[in-house]
């Protein structure tokens, strides 16, 4: 209880200075991020709340959905790790993962669990706005349906796989020499891929009392 009170106080002090956009992960057990297409200004935060299941919040490029951005650019990107919501819920708590947005380049995000990404568990922060752009969330999801999920540092996700294992495994991020280093990820303006965000908390997520959370919203 004391921890929960401290955590709430810490968050409240931050929230008073910065706008926080909340994204629910697996709302009602669905394989979704809600909302999944958001605009966030530089200096603002996005807080992912893990509502159910065991999911991740992981950054990819537009062109290679379901795979870490580090596989296809020289950007490390962010990755929440796997977050089992039930473990926190059993303690009347909620796991969250918060990023601080540091530029307005598009950030494409997927869940690295199983085939969630292939099944559409993707989202975007600051999608390209250029007239006629084909780099839309709908098109990204269509690409994701054809992808093979890769877990950062862990190879193909359970249930992933298919025909491209050889090529994919050769570039697993975190493996020695595995980062190709090329700026293959670009946005509509042909800017190199950038992480665009920093992870706010030293640990990848923190726990917060569910009751205190409701009071904030
Ligand atoms: Cu998932």
33 — pLDDT class (breaks 50, 70, 90): very high
Nearest to 152 by CA among 51, 82, 74, 91: 82
The angle at the Cα of 169, spanning 166 to 170, to the nearest 5 degrees, equals 85
CA of 121 to the centre of ligand 1 (A): 6
Which neighbouring-strand residues pair with 78?
A: none
CA of 119 to the centre of ligand 1 (A): 9
Percent of the chain at pLDDT exceeding 90: 58
CA of 164 to the centre of ligand 1 (A): 21
- Joined tokens for residue 7: 């955590």
CA of 38 to the centre of ligand 1 (A): 19
- Joined tokens for residue 62: 């537009």
208 — pLDDT class (breaks 50, 70, 90): very low
CA of 204 to the centre of ligand 1 (A): 17
Could you tell me the CATH superfamily of domain 2-161+192-216?
Cupredoxins -  blue copper proteins (2.60.40.420)
Domain ranges of the chain: 2-161+192-216
CA of 13 to the centre of ligand 1 (A): 30
Predicted confidence (pLDDT) at residue 79 exceeds the cutoff of 70: yes
* Separation between Cα atoms, residue 5 and residue 18, nearest integer Å: 20
CA of 85 to the centre of ligand 1 (A): 11
Nearest to 173 by CA among 98, 61, 88: 61
Over residues 182-211, the mean pLDDT reads 47
Nearest to 104 by CA among 47, 59, 46, 40: 40
* Separation between Cα atoms, residue 62 and residue 122, nearest integer Å: 10
Predicted confidence (pLDDT) at residue 20 exceeds the cutoff of 80: yes
Over residues 125-149, the mean pLDDT reads 97
CA of 6 to the centre of ligand 1 (A): 30
> pLDDT tens across 151-190, in order?
998 766 554 333 333 333 333 333 332 233 333 333 333 3
Predicted confidence (pLDDT) at residue 106 exceeds the cutoff of 80: yes
The angle at the Cα of 109, spanning 197 to 215, to the nearest 5 degrees, equals 70
């Amino acid at each position: 209880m004391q921890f929960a009170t401290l955590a709430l106080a810490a968050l409240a002090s931050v929230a008073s200075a910065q706008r926080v956009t909340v994204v629910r992960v697996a709302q009602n057990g669905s394989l979704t991020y809600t909302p999944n297409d958001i605009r966030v200004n530089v200096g603002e935060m996005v807080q992912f709340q893990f509502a159910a299941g065991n999911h991740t919040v992981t950054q990819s490029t537009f062109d290679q959905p379901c795979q870490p951005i580090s596989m296809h650019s020289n950007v490390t990107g962010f990755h929440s790790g796997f977050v089992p919501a039930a473990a926190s819920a059993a303690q009347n708590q909620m796991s969250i993962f918060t990023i601080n947005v540091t530029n307005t380049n598009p950030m494409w995000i997927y869940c690295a669990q199983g085939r969630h990404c292939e099944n559409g568990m993707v989202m975007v922060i600051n999608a390209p706005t250029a007239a006629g752009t084909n780099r839309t969330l709908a098109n990204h999801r269509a690409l994701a349906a054809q992808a093979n999920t890769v877990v950062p540092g862990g190879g193909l996700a359970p249930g992933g796989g298919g025909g491209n294992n050889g090529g994919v495994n050769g570039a697993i991020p975190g493996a020695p020499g595995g980062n190709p280093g090329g700026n293959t990820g670009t946005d509509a303006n042909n800017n190199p891929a950038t992480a665009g965000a920093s992870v706010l908390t030293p640990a990848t997520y923190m726990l917060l009392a569910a009751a205190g959370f409701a009071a904030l919203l």
